[in-house]
Structure 1
């Protein structure tokens, strides 16, 4: 999987003593909530899985609670515009940060589609597996296997969430959407029953900080970025813009659907263009 390197990461802001105190109490609170609820989720899943299989009538609410509490603990504003999709289908969004996971899960019951390497990441991989993340290799040769997996999950009324840019950015732009994963929606079993909802994830940096403060990309260390976010005061905000769902059957192929999703996501970014070239990539 490629990594975007189109902008120089901003220098990490110095953390004063008061900032370190916020790191300690926010980090502790976030850890207690996250891993405490993860333990509860795993216990519930022991009963939920044999009874309901792919269906998860209880555990997604635990995940949503954790994600909502994360923004309360951080003191970061989280807001939403638009109607969340009720139709069967998937969600696509731009990708800027590890915070996207919390932001997108806080308001909607979704299941992320992630690169397979994430499953092996310490801590994060464990959380991802527990919350039902779908792990894949971004390889066209595995398109058929992906389609079967997606079909099972989508028919169980799971809202799968994709990041079609294929990498995270500084949050100030939208990269061309890769089209490979969109092919899975055009199988005969899915094309006529699915909708895709584009979502724009828009971060506003804390006052006085670099506009890309919440972006996490290239070789930026997770630990340093996490410390900066935990220490920040005042915090910035994140806004989700839910665009009108697109009916898959209304588009002739994956490239046309990917282009329409990209244009919708880009339209809500500051300036309306997302500072990137609008052209779907393979």
Structure 2
């Protein structure tokens, strides 16, 4: 039975990826003849593809809360590669993602065409990254980042890097916190997290061999960025997400500059 389940799910996934390849070919052909689509249109195409991709993943998805009606800087905890299609299906947006995603079959190519910003681990180019994020937000294009900088096992939330939220302050754009939660039998899903040296294919095979899990996506109250230090803004977003996932807030930490001023 598990082998038949894996085969059926892989077949469905391959059909979705073939659809993505067809989309990629049409976009590439248009670029060759000078018909380059706008970023907004490519974001819509990417969102449409992500919705189809999610239907091929073994999850029951619940979305709690309301989608924002204006472009914002989205921030989310990060558990799995599946976060990207699960959040990318909600509305047309771009991502800040690790450089490896650029080389993923089909999805990476479409992500790049939809305006994804790719960051190298340890790249040390904070100012350039800040300018790129600011440029996305100044063009009224929603952008999603994972400010923990890495994936977790879903049982805790790491410290958010405030430097990644500086662009929201520069452009006076609100921050939209999003908490994503993978559950299996009412507990934190031990299979969904994509951590350590795991590889995509092995993880996918393990995921497909199991019964369907549950994903809860919590769209939380937006946070105003005007007049805030980036460390304060990051802490507020982190606490909001931690509270949605675990029901309690972490201890409040006062940023150093604010503490000295007091």
TM-score between both structures, scaled by the size of structure 1 = 0.78
Which stretches in structure 1 are left out of the alignment for 5+ residues?
1-17
Bigger mean CA deviation after superposition, 37-46 or 105-114: 37-46
* 209 and 92 in structure 1: CA distance in 2 versus 1, 3 angstrom threshold: closer
Distance 2:210 2:138 in 1: 42
Query: For 2:40, which of 52, 56, 64 is the aligned residue?
Result: 56
* 71 and 158 in structure 1: CA distance in 2 versus 1, 3 angstrom threshold: same
Counterpart in the other structure of 2:115: 132
Q: CA deviation at 1:48?
A: 8.0
Query: For 1:241, which of 218, 240, 260 is the aligned residue?
Result: 218
Distance 2:52 2:102 in 1: 24
Distance 1:109 1:81 in 2: 18
Q: CA deviation at 1:75?
A: 4.6
Distance 1:196 1:48 in 2: 33
TM-score between both structures, scaled by the size of structure 2 = 0.83
Which stretches in structure 2 are left out of the alignment for 5+ residues?
257-262
Query: For 2:183, which of 184, 189, 204 is the aligned residue?
Result: 204
Q: Deviations over 1:170-217 (max 9, x none)?
A: 112111111121223333xx13xx111000001112x39973221111
Counterpart in the other structure of 1:270: 246
Count of aligned pairs between the two proteins = 255
Q: Deviations over 1:145-169 (max 9, x none)?
A: 2233223222332211100111001
CA contact (8 A) 1:202 1:240 kept: yes
Q: Deviations over 1:8-46 (max 9, x none)?
A: xxxxxxxxxx21222222112212212322431452465
Counterpart in the other structure of 1:10: none
Q: CA deviation at 1:144?
A: 2.6
CA contact (8 A) 1:175 1:277 kept: no
- Give the root-mean-square deviation of aligned CA atoms: 3.0
